[in-house]
Homo-oligomer: A and B are copies of this chain.
Amino acid sequence: MIPEKQDLLDAYKAVKPWIHRTPVLTSSQIDQMVGASVFFKCENFQKMGAFKMRGALNAIQSLSEAQKKGGVVTHSSGNFGQALALAAQKLGWKAYVVMPKNAPTVKREAVKGYGAEVILCESTLEAREATSQSIVNDKGAAFLHPSNQMEVILGNATATLELLVDHPDLDAIVAPVGGGGLLAGTALATHYFGNHCKVMGAEPIQVNDAFRSLQSGKIEANDCTDTIADGLRTHLGDQNFPIIQKLVDRIICVEEAEIISGMKLIWERMKLVVEPSSAVALAAVLRDKANFQDRKVGIIISGGNVDVSNLPF
């Protein structure tokens, strides 16, 4: 059920020519605050500004040449829509991105800017799924899910693979968890390439479905989507949950105020533009710092796509 080490190496071979090898940055001030050595894998510097580029690139390349004429389709109002659009453009595929009518114009324009066709629908999960299915039926497009798709998970895993090549002796890696595609990939890469390294998920307490899912043993839903970490409002899926169950040590939940102050800290001290979802991971390490003392901790900075004209501080 769980992919093999070779599957990760194949994914890395597929995505490597198309991505940036993002840097790993550190901050002595943040190290001091945490009481640990923290290594930030900066996927905010990735093409289109987020790790999602890796999953999209791997997923498209896992399709057959025969599927190329139909193109690919996803539903996403966030980074995966842009990632699929750009990955498709680079690889010479047609891409359709289903977005809710109320998605910000800037996000629609970004997807179009990468050459994809945007199809608007009502702002419900049912409408998104039905509209995506109609593109599959009408255009013969292959549907790729933003987080609950093994090839996407394997592509995402390559960020952690690179981090562990640069820093093989990490004691722990913390990644934000929303749909679960990044956390599952992080856990897989750490399982095969880490050295007694633990993986923790970081989640806003407001949308702590992953935390509750690990407790109950089944995929739980969120009652609300009321968090500033807009990339983490979705819930786990049947592809990534078993990996998370098996390979993730625990989920650390954080308050909204901790997310905002973590974000400000990264901006001010590290001079990095990161999105709120990325700050959730630092907030988790700070909240749980007693458990990270004197350790080497990796943090996946998932992305930097944020409206700089509309900040929470």
Residues of chain A at the chain B interface (Cβ within 8 Å):
23, 25, 44-45, 49, 264, 267-268, 270-274, 304, 308-309, 311, 313
CB–CB A264/B308 < 8 A? yes
- Set of chain B residues within 8 Å of A313, measured between Cβ atoms: 308-309
- Set of chain B residues within 8 Å of A274, measured between Cβ atoms: 271
- Set of chain B residues within 8 Å of A271, measured between Cβ atoms: 44-45, 49, 272-274, 304
- Set of chain B residues within 8 Å of A273, measured between Cβ atoms: 267-268, 271-273
Given contacts A44-B271, A271-B274, 9 further A-B contacts (CB under 8 A): A23-B23, A45-B270, A268-B273, A268-B308, A272-B273, A308-B311, A308-B313, A309-B311, A311-B311
Shortest distance from the beta carbon of A52 to any chain B beta carbon, whole Å: 14
CB–CB A308/B272 < 8 A? no
Shortest distance from the beta carbon of A305 to any chain B beta carbon, whole Å: 9
Complex partner residue of A308 from B25, B267, B304, B309, CB under 8 angstroms = B267
A270–B274 Cα distance when bound, in Å, is 11
Q: Name 14 A/B residue pairs within 8 A (Cβ), A-sorted.
A: A23-B23, A25-B45, A44-B271, A268-B273, A268-B308, A271-B272, A271-B273, A271-B304, A272-B272, A272-B273, A273-B273, A308-B313, A309-B311, A309-B313
Nearest to A268 among chain B residues (CB) is B308
A313–B309 Cα distance when bound, in Å, is 5
* Copy count, this protein chain: 2
- Set of chain B residues within 8 Å of A44, measured between Cβ atoms: 271
Nearest to A303 among chain B residues (CB) is B271
A274–B313 Cα distance when bound, in Å, is 17
A25–B45 Cα distance when bound, in Å, is 10
Shortest distance from the beta carbon of A35 to any chain B beta carbon, whole Å: 19
Shortest distance from the beta carbon of A165 to any chain B beta carbon, whole Å: 18
- Set of chain B residues within 8 Å of A270, measured between Cβ atoms: 45
Nearest to A266 among chain B residues (CB) is B273
Nearest to A309 among chain B residues (CB) is B313
A44–B269 Cα distance when bound, in Å, is 10
4 smallest A-B Cβ distances: which pairs?
A271-B304, A271-B273, A44-B271, A267-B308
Shortest distance from the beta carbon of A39 to any chain B beta carbon, whole Å: 15
- Set of chain B residues within 8 Å of A267, measured between Cβ atoms: 273, 308
Shortest distance from the beta carbon of A26 to any chain B beta carbon, whole Å: 10
- Set of chain B residues within 8 Å of A45, measured between Cβ atoms: 25, 270-271
Nearest to A23 among chain B residues (CB) is B23
A274–B308 Cα distance when bound, in Å, is 13
A25, A272, A313 interface centre (most CB from chain B within 10 Å): A272
Nearest to A307 among chain B residues (CB) is B268
Nearest to A313 among chain B residues (CB) is B309
Nearest to A275 among chain B residues (CB) is B271
